[in-house]
Chain A
Amino acid sequence: MFNKVLVATDFSPCAQRALELARAHFPQAEVRVLHVVTEESPFTTTEALLELEMLVSDAWKGETSLPGHEVVQGSPVQQVVESASAWGADLIVMGVSGQGGQGLGSVAEGVVRASTIPVLTVKSR
């Protein structure tokens, strides 16, 4: 089944659900968490990395080994798809309505279109 699961987060509530789902449903898989910093981001890369570290250690509380995580810069769709393929992911997990957005979300839609590996989309409740 899935061995390497890439979770893309924009720090939105539904990205948080995506992270929790990845942890709960793919316990055997290696998980990697990615955030893409764009020109419009409210964070610098360093701030995003701190935020991501907090997020991951919170979600994997009590575990001895935390999933790998990284912050990259660029276009979110391209970076998610490229990181997934460079790392050899066999599944991408992501939220579908980004921060402040309704509906599918342009990043999720772009990733679904561009990705050759399966994409698991998670909505916030």
Chain B
Amino acid sequence: MFKNILLAFDGSAHAQKAARLAADLARQYQAALCVVHAYDPVPDYLGEPYLQEVISRRTEAAERAMEQAQALLGDLPRVETEVLEGPAAEAILRVAQVRQVDLIVMGTRGLGQLSGLLLGSQSQKVVTHAPCPVLLVR
């Protein structure tokens, strides 16, 4: 049975569907759920005060995404959140490994990707390198 589920959440429509499904699975299996949100790396060539501004804008967006995720998940006994900087696939895979999750749930495409045609490159990377099964939702 799945005991330790990771939900990758970027706020996209696919991720919203993935969140509902992950919540259902966590309830059914009484599993712990960890929500992971990754934000784009902040370019370090930015000087002050721009650096601080970019960082706070990114973290505010991450907080909003997490609030949205929590609202979609509803009541769950064990939910944790992780906000990481970096390419989404790397962040997801890092958390999956550290927490030894046994299932990753994610959308087939994230925000800002071409709709319709391609499997998102981040999703593809996760599927290829994940240490556990990956449930792709669209």
Cβ of B68 within 8 Å of any chain A Cβ, yes or no, is no
Residues of A within 8 A of B127 (CB): 96, 104, 108, 112, 121
B98-138: which residues lie under 8 A (CB-CB) from chain A? 108, 117-119, 123-124, 127-128, 130, 133-138
Q: From residue B17, how far is it (CB to closest CB) to chain A in Å?
A: 8
One digit per residue, 1 when the CB lies within 8 angstroms of any chain B CB and 0 when it does not, for chain A 108-125 equals 110011011011111100
Known: A1-B24, A96-B127. A120 touches B135 (CB 8 A): yes
Residues of A within 8 A of B134 (CB): 120-121
Query: What's the interface size class on A, roughly?
Result: 10 to 19
Q: From residue A94, how far is it (CB to closest CB) to chain B in Å?
A: 10
Known: A1-B28, A109-B119. A103 touches B128 (CB 8 A): yes
Contact A21 B135 (CB under 8 A): no
Closest Cβ neighbor of A119 among chain B residues: B136
Q: Is the interface of B mostly helix, strand, loop or mixed?
A: mixed
Residues of B within 8 A of A113 (CB): 108, 117-119
Contact A96 B24 (CB under 8 A): no
User: When A and B form their complex, what is the total count of cross-chain residue pairs whose Cβ atoms lie within 8 Å?
Assistant: 46
Cβ of A25 within 8 Å of any chain B Cβ, yes or no, is yes
Query: What's the interface size class on B, roughly?
Result: 20 to 34
Residues of B within 8 A of A116 (CB): 138
Alpha-carbon distance between A69 and B112 when the two chains are bound, in angstroms: 40
Alpha-carbon distance between A103 and B125 when the two chains are bound, in angstroms: 9
Alpha-carbon distance between A122 and B128 when the two chains are bound, in angstroms: 10
Known: A1-B24, A25-B1. A119 touches B128 (CB 8 A): no
Q: From residue A40, how far is it (CB to closest CB) to chain B in Å?
A: 24
